[in-house]
Amino acid sequence: MMYILQVSICWALLYIVYKLFLAKETFFTTNRYYLLGSLILGLFLPLIAAYVPSNSTSQEVYQAITYVTVMPTATVEATATENFSWAGLLWMIYFIGVAVVGIRFFRGISRIINIYRSGIKKDLGNFVLVESTIPHLPFSFLNYVFLSKQIPLNKEIEQILLHEEIHVRQWHTMDILFAEVLNIFFWFNPFIHLYKKALKESHEFLADAYVSQEFNKDSYGQLLLGRSTSGFEVALAHQFFHSQIKKRIVMLYKEKSKRSAMFKYFTALPVFIGMLFIFSSNQKSTLKEKGNSSQEELLSSIGENKKDTENNPDINFEMSQGEKLDTNKSKVFKEVDEMPRFPGCENRPGSLTEKEVCARNLLFGYIGKNLKYPEQARKNGTEGTVIVQFTVSQNGNLEDLELVRSVGDGLGEEAIRIVKSMPKWVPGKLDGKDVAVQLTLPFMYKLDSEDKKASSKEQSNADETVYKVVEEMPRFSGCEDAEMSLIEKDKCAKGKLFEFIVENLVYPEEAKKKGIEGMAVIQFDITSEGKVTNGKIVRDPGYGTAEEALRVVNSMPDFIPGKQRGKRVAVQYTLPVKFALGNDDKK
């Protein structure tokens, strides 16, 4: 799909250059070759660009990330919906278009063949004249010129035959066939139709210019004006009379362009260089952007669904790239000549790429069969991203497992369990030697619509209506016995809440070691009895910070419940917890 997009961009930019600077010039032959060259260049430039070195620094190394989305098994109806693929729909539409345009192309060829078979052939040296009784306008195709006995030409026959002979001698039909074949595969691209039209115009201008040298220009112009375009036209052929008569007459009488105008063709050079640079750096720049973006941005692009046949989670996945690796670290790499692979495909025939694809599919199959959506997370409607980091050693063992990010309710623990249970991998290779490679495996947990409804219904049956804003918000306990106003009690309760957090919150050692700072946001409900329930992580700086904040929230004593119209009600509460290291810890 990216290749098709790049080809389309090439064609568009080069055609714009043609239309702005070259179309009005009388360098008809040069224009013809420019248009053909643009079509060919558009096809090959994206391929050539892959071999052009980009400006990216050679010391930058990127880790491979596999995105895995975990979804509980849905009903049959829900599964059918989840397996719907927009990409698949687009490809289906594309191939239908290819089929329709292809059929139209071969019908045009068939029509010409029918006229050829029914006509009388005369070899006139430079071409073969085919005269038929089928009504059609004069046209040429390959080495043949077709005339219809149903349309009398009288004295004009010599000029028309010379015109069509030029098309034959200069092989203009091959240009049209080339453009038509491209049109089959790029039928959706409006610029291919513009190229076809421009090529036909350049052919007619060339033939007209030649005929006007052999015959009187005014009489030839009158011939073009005097003939209407009514009649049976043949696709894929050069019609002598067609709808571009006005343009042909304008160019027939146009003064020849000065030689200095040839420099206009150099305007395409910066376009060519620019596209070559952009396409050559496109892949690496994409990797950099993904590596520098936030984890949320990285995980926003999830690939096509793969459904496990057993009663297990669905797995969505996409291979991508991630963070830079400090190249000063020794013995553990993040990118090597051959990345580590899940075992099971080594004895299968095929290339390295085919083995990687096979191993990837086995990995997803393993996860799909073994990964379970924790019941507590399903019950609470907990979703989000869990990131597990690990090293595949030189022996293929999975070591240094680390939960980089979690969302609570056992989702992180389940992801760690799955990685721990994996068999030995095929180790990565660098310069032909087995080396240790660090990988990062993010899991995106997402409930399907049925589970969300069940979770919502379960909570609504167990709890009363949960408000977000009430007349009297819940307060941390400890200030109710004092004689204070409501505003003073609120202020006192906030102070008690912060004291509780400071006394109980422990900065995770791993986060401290990594220098992780940031804001964790915890959302929870305070019931009409003041109980803290349904705690979940909304924002996570990583490395256990949000889990620690959630632990503290779950350990809080009962609140003074909120009130609406004098009645106690359940209220949703959002608590931001800022993690910041002191100067000594940063050092």
Q: Is residue 501 packed enough to be buried (19+ CB in 10 Å), middle (13-18) or exposed (0-12)?
A: middle
**Alpha-carbon gap, residue 536 to 381, rounded angstroms:** 9
- Give percent helix, percent strand, percent coil of the chain, each to the nearest 5: 50, 20, 30
Which residue, chain included where needed, has tokens 């690496």? Answer: 284
Please report which confidence band the pLDDT of residue 297 belongs to, taking 50, 70 and 90 as the band edges. very low
- Which of 15-19, 379-383, 443-447, 462-466 shows the lowest per-residue confidence on average (mean pLDDT)? 462-466
Provide the 3-class DSSP secondary structure of residue 347. Answer: coil
Extract the tokens encoding 345.
């495909």
Please state, in angstroms and rounded to a whole number, the distance separating the CA atoms of residues 567 and 40: 76
Q: Give me the chain's average pLDDT, please.
A: 76
**Cβ atoms < 10 Å from Cβ of 532:** 18
Give pLDDT, residue 182: 92
Per-residue pLDDT band for 98 (boundaries 50, 70, 90) equals very high
Contact (Cβ atoms closer than 8 angstroms) between residue 553 and residue 575:
yes
For residue 544, pLDDT beyond 90? no
Domains delineated in the chain: 85-257 (no CATH), 295-451 (3.30.2420.10), 463-586 (3.30.2420.10)
Written as one letter, the residue type at 472 is E
Bigger pLDDT: 113 or 276? 113
Residue 435 makes CB contacts below 8 A (sequence gap 6+) with 331, 333, 336, 394, 427, 428, 429
Residue 88 has pLDDT above 60, yes or no: yes
With H, G, I as helix, E, B as strand and everything else as coil, classify residue 343: coil
Taking each continuous run of H as one helix and of E as one strand, the counts in the chain are 19, 18
Lowest mean pLDDT among 214-228, 365-379, 386-400, 447-461: 447-461
> Which pLDDT does position 33 carry in this prediction?
92
Using DSSP, state whether 157 is helix, strand or coil. helix
What are residue 440's DSSP bridge partners?
65, 389
End-to-end CA distance of the chain: 48
Torsion angle, CA of 430/292/320/406, rounded to 10 degrees?
100
pLDDT tens by residue, 210-219: 887 887 777 6
88-103 per-residue burial string, b: 16 or more CB within 10 A, e: under 16: eeeeeebeeeeeebbe
DSSP string, 167-231: HHHTTHHHHHHHHHHHHHHTTT-HHHHHHHHHHHHHHHHHHHHHHHHHS-HHHHHHHHHHS---S
What pLDDT sits at residue 453?
55
List, in sequence order, every residue forming a beta bridge with 1; answer none if it has no partner.
none
Q: For position 242, what pLDDT does the model report?
A: 52
Which pLDDT value is given to residue 76? 29
CB 251 within 8 A of CB 26: yes
571, with CB counted inside 10 A (0-12, 13-18, 19+), is: buried
Which range among 37-46, 72-81, 246-255 shows the weakest confidence by mean pLDDT? Answer: 72-81
Inter-CA distances, 453 with 162, 352, 380, 448, 459, Å: 77, 45, 11, 9, 10
Structure tokens at 409: 């309710």
DSSP letter at 426 equals B
* pTM across the whole model: 0.45
